[in-house]
Amino acid sequence: LQRSVVASGEKQQKAEYRISKSAWLKDTADPVVRALELRMAAVTGLDLRPPYAEYLQVVNYGLGGHYEPHFDHATSRKSPLYRMKSGNRIATVMIYVSWTQPQGCCGVPNPCPLSAPQNAALFWWNLRRNGDGDGDTLHAGCPVLAGDKWVANKWIHEHGQEFR
């Protein structure tokens, strides 16, 4: 795991509004990761193979860790997301792995009105049918007040999904 970064202009960098550590797992890393990828593809009906989706990101929020309100889709054509030449992030799968604090909140689609139980997954579309970002997808990782929190997410891109 390494300190998580965010897209900032045309590069990625550490930011005080996202305090966490993360790692990216290829589906070849372990049979469990491969099975999870296949399950997400079956549930969403989307193509999760690179370059149509990013690798599974596993994130740990330690004590004080948080991610202030943000969108998963790029809001600027200068975003590093567009260098991947696979389009914007059309959808997100968020898996709530574990947390030790009772509230364990991760606000979707807006900061902290909804939290999911451990071992649950949420799916949402980041873009509207016309390709514009959906402003209702603003969400956050609320601060960890005790213990830690683990989540995993899969970001799915526009290209490769045209006929799905």
Per-residue pLDDT of the chain in tens (164 residues, 90 and over written 9): 998 888 665 667 777 878 899 999 999 999 999 999 999 999 999 999 999 999 999 999 999 999 899 999 988 877 777 677 889 999 999 998 987 765 545 555 444 456 677 788 999 999 999 999 999 999 988 889 888 899 999 999 999 999 98
Burial per residue of 134-154, b for 16 or more beta-carbon CB atoms within 10 angstroms, e otherwise: eeebbbbbbbbeeebbbbbbb
- Name the residue ranges covered by the structural domains of the chain: 33-67+75-102+114-163
Answer left, alpha or beta for residue 147, where phi above 0 means left and psi between -120 and 50 means alpha: left
Q: Pick 33-67+75-102+114-163's CATH classification: 1.25.40.10, 2.70.70.10, 3.60.15.10, 2.60.120.620.
A: 2.60.120.620
| Residue 123 pLDDT | 95
CA distance 65 to 127: 27
Q: In the prediction, which pLDDT does 111 show? A: 46
State the pTM of this model.
Answer: 0.86
C-alpha R_g of the chain = 15
pLDDT in the model for residue 101: 60
